[in-house]
Amino acid sequence: MPARTLYLCVVDPGVGGERSALAIEADGDWYVGPDNGLLALVTRHAGKARVLRVDWRPEVLSSSFHGRDLFAPVAAMLCNGKVPRCTEIAKATLIGNDWPSQLAKVVYVDRYGNLITGMQASDLAKDSRARVGGREIAYAHTFCSVPPGQAFWYENAFGLVELAINQGNAHHTLGLGLGDRVELSRYSS
Amino acid sequence: MPARTLYLCVVDPGVGGERSALAIEADGDWYVGPDNGLLALVTRHAGKARVLRVDWRPEVLSSSFHGRDLFAPVAAMLCNGKVPRCTEIAKATLIGNDWPSQLAKVVYVDRYGNLITGMQASDLAKDSRARVGGREIAYAHTFCSVPPGQAFWYENAFGLVELAINQGNAHHTLGLGLGDRVELSRYSS
Amino acid sequence: MPARTLYLCVVDPGVGGERSALAIEADGDWYVGPDNGLLALVTRHAGKARVLRVDWRPEVLSSSFHGRDLFAPVAAMLCNGKVPRCTEIAKATLIGNDWPSQLAKVVYVDRYGNLITGMQASDLAKDSRARVGGREIAYAHTFCSVPPGQAFWYENAFGLVELAINQGNAHHTLGLGLGDRVELSRYSS
């Protein structure tokens, strides 16, 4: 993304409840979204971050669609150079501030059944193997590096460890889904 | 939506058949779509509405994609300030003119399994209960007002009664789907 | 689409492998995508086509998201009137150059379960019947030309033969899916 981008991010199971709304200025970009852990890594990775709790509220606020009613107007204000009524708060008070930077679990299953983990691939040796159920899964550079139907792990386009099957569905074939643990280690058992 | 918006709406199981095409000017907005009930409520709720049957046809008209071939060009003409060849017709002749404004049924199941009904929530007391199968379901303000897994009804972001389960799938869990009846009443049985 | 359009097309199971990247100028339009058959028909149908193999590579290239890293920047360069580093190659060397123009198979199942084939409908008489399993399926002009639940074939909005069921799911009901053969002939058996 170009410099000076505003990211409006809404994954918000607590919508309508007590969680705060945030506007974070980090290294020249803005991030707008709920205070539920979604944006905590942004402040951790940023060289310079200013965390604002958004106190502004619209006249009409539905109980379940703050993306439309609250966050989008805040994003529009910021894009127009106006900062809505806010209170600056400390990074350390953010939900998720104490969460790990890496998570050895499946954090997302895409619509092809690829299993995206919360582990950065750059930290791992290429001869590491993923242990899943009783199986060990080796690294490959990309999908077409292995025969159709074969499982592999690779560094995906976000830099994360992903388990996939060339022209197949890793979610169904490996029986692995959201939140399931994935261990990678260098030496096979 | 801002004033003077054009809404291009195509839900059109009768595409390619005898149903008319409509362009409706209602309180300064335009609505373009098929005459199959989709736009009847617009004329009912509008202070001032002018209903036009679109007689214009493109040179090439597929039998199944009037959104592309007919309605989109009509919308583009109207956005450019040109009204295509039309005949003004009476509101009362619209398909759906005699349909009810409220419908005590599931009218949409979203991709999370939330069950959206055709009932306006503002008409109901908050101590009303939804009767579904043998169960009674109470009101809650929003998802996180109830424990994970609990069913509730609430006023959704469109102002309609919606049945949902916090972090769950109401469609699967309640066994309720499109067209199923949902009764709400104030006193439990 | 208007004249002088750029089409960025990425269906790319070989991403990260040996397949080339293409930029094709055909009758004033540009087509950007992988050399895997996706764009071969473009050169066959064009009056005048120039086929370029894209030799330019970005500084950072992921192994699985060339749509983002390679093809989109190439498209942006072309839109800005700059041709990236390329080598002109012969049409005949394209993958898919020897593939048939028509394919009597299901090539796509849409989300309604409609079965789109690779056959052009204009080549067929309207009294042709599709043979699927033991059944014969007759032509209809469009969905609402037949009763709900009835299967038919018709010329879809792309000009292709499509098998569908009015208000139903042909994929499930006919038990037919991607790659399955569909034969059409004029005389019933």
| Residue A79 DSSP SS3 | helix
Chains that touch B (3 or more CB pairs under 8 A): A, C
Whether A100 has its CB under 8 Å from any CB of chain B: the answer is no
* Cα dihedral A176, A177, A180, A183 sign: positive
Beta carbons of C165 and C95 less than 8 angstroms apart: no
Say yes or no for a CB contact (<8 Å) between B63 and C167: no
pTM: 0.87
> Do B70 and B58 form a contact (C-beta atoms < 8 A)?
yes
The phi and psi torsions of A153 (rounded to 5 degrees) equal -115, 150
B16 touches chain C (CB under 8 A): yes
Contacts of C145 in chain B (CB under 8 A): 16-17
Cα C20 to Cα C96: distance, rounded to the nearest angstrom: 13
C-alpha B78/C-alpha B72 separation (Å) is 10
Place of tokens 């399931």: A180
Cβ of B15 within 8 Å of Cβ of C143? The answer is yes
- Is residue C182 pLDDT above 80, yes or no? yes
User: Chain C closest CA to B27's CA: distance in Å?
Assistant: 33
Total residues found in chain A within this entry: 189
> CB distance B156–A69 less than 8 Å?
no
Residue B15 has pLDDT above 80, yes or no: yes
Residue of A144, A156, A167 with shortest CB distance to C17: A144
Stretch 119-178 of chain B: residues touching chain A, C-beta under 8 Å: 141-145, 154-157, 166-167
A145 CB neighbours in chain C (<8 A) are 16-17
Q: How confident is the model at residue C132 (pLDDT cuts 50, 70, 90)?
A: confident
Task: Profile chain A (189 residues) by mean pLDDT over runs of 10 residues.
Answer: 95 93 98 97 95 97 96 98 97 95 95 96 92 90 95 96 97 96 78
| Half-sphere CA count of A16, side-chain side, radius 13 A | 19
Per DSSP, helices labelled H in chain B are 40-45, 66, 72-79, 170-174
* Contact assessment for residue A48 and residue A59, using Cβ atoms and an 8 Å cutoff: no
pLDDT over threshold 90, residue B19: yes
Contact A63 B144 (CB under 8 A): no
CA separation (Å) from A130 to A110, A140, A156, C13?
19, 12, 15, 23
Please tell me which chains touch C, using 3 or more CB pairs under 8 Å as the contact test. Answer: A, B
Give ipTM to 2 decimals. 0.85
The helix (run of H) or strand (run of E) holding residue B31 is: strand B29-34
3-class SS at C168? coil
> Six-digit token pair at B13?
């199981």
Exposure b/e, A91-120, CB count within 10 A at least 16 = b: eeebbeeeeeeeeebbeebeeebbbbbbbe
Residue C187 has pLDDT above 80, yes or no: no
The model's pLDDT over B101-143, given as tens digits with 9 standing for 90+, comes to: 999 999 999 999 999 999 999 989 999 999 987 889 999 999 9
- Interchain contact A62–B (C-beta under 8 A): yes
Chain A within 8 Å of C64 (Cβ-Cβ)? yes
